[in-house]
A and B are shown apart, each in its own frame.
Chain A
């Protein structure tokens, strides 16, 4: 039986409960048509999420509102969100994008899958999910890492569902891709990096995803990742515009 659109959409949006998600996942591997439909729902979501990241963070007219809110809520902070007049309705140019914290951008892409991870139970230890097996150039994993923009995902031949959350640089030119994988009962977060274009991505960091009944992404839940990012001196999350030239078309 084929998988209906609403179910595929709910999977793409991370809105299925873990049992349903596993069930759909299992049926997907043998159903290329459903995989294509799933990709459609993912891609529409990714296109819309790009709009979210492109919205100006504050507008000149906000100063009065912010002052009003501060006065009513007892906050003492002075105007900190004032924007130049040019920011009115024009999205910032890619190079002048408002600073966004790494975790904010990464979590925006993570949200759907974290909801799926909820309730899977704390997976204390688990094997490498075949990510490290895919090191050779040209493997489906390597192809996905080199091609997929942040926010998009694919189902690898071994049934692993992979979503790229974010891209960033470390140590100059090395490109890193933060991904989330889901296979069977296990959700996992990993960072794979390549030293230069054409070289294979190698896994540099991995953690099992935390679980909870009502998981909400928050930087505090990913302390191990945060620590690692600080330790290696990771750069800020690349915007889709910054990322595009680094990917294989």
Chain B
């Protein structure tokens, strides 16, 4: 196995954790999912199509791990808002406060969307997957990605007061 693959995997750890958090919203579970994903990625590295980007391949592994886990647990556990950051007010610089508040508002709005909407927004708008790649991760047709994503964007815009 090559070191470049390892480098890419390490570089994507924050992305994997972010996607895991959007799925389970629990930091402890998210860490577990990332760990499972890394192990499976190492094990199945040889089976990967090198022509395909690494991101969708890893996200799909992580998503399957999440489905496995929840199937086994039969319970979602307590959902916590991991995005509560009161320290945003710990500065007296007005533009900075405003920028921090905007980030906090976006995070908060994301947790108020349905898990399905939060997931599609994470994959496409935060992680930068194409519609086709997102369809592959979610195992749904591209048309479904588009309708789901468009509804999610409108819902997010409404929560954020964007019109």
Contacts and interface: CB of A to CB of B under 8 A. Distances in A.
Interface of A: 5-6, 9-10, 13, 15, 40-41, 43-45, 47-52, 54-59, 61-62, 65-66, 68-70, 72-77, 81, 89-91, 93-94, 108, 111, 115, 216, 240-241, 244-245
B92 interface: no
Contact of A244 (B85, B95, B107, B125): B95
Given A13-B124, A49-B125, A74-B2, A54 B103 contact: yes
B9 A94 contact: no
Contact of B10 (A81, A89, A244): A81
B34 interface: yes
Contacts of B14: 55-59
Interface in B121-150: 121-122, 124-128, 130-131, 146-147, 149-150
B7 A75 contact: yes
B98 interface: yes
A241 to B, nearest CB: 4
Interface in B96-111: 96, 98-100, 102-103, 106-107, 110
B3 interface: yes
11 contacts: A13-B125, A41-B153, A43-B157, A45-B153, A51-B126, A65-B35, A66-B10, A68-B42, A73-B6, A73-B9, A90-B85
Contacts of A56: 14
Contacts, number: 131
A42 B67 CA distance: 31
A58 B154 CA distance: 32
A65 B154 contact: no
A94 B96 contact: yes
A73 B5 contact: yes
A180 to B, nearest CB: 16
Contact of B42 (A45, A49, A72, A93): A72
Contacts of B25: none
Nearest to A80: B10
Contact of A44 (B35, B82, B85, B125): B125
Given A61-B31, A72-B1, A91 B163 contact: no
A65 B102 contact: no
Interface string B110-123: 10000000000110
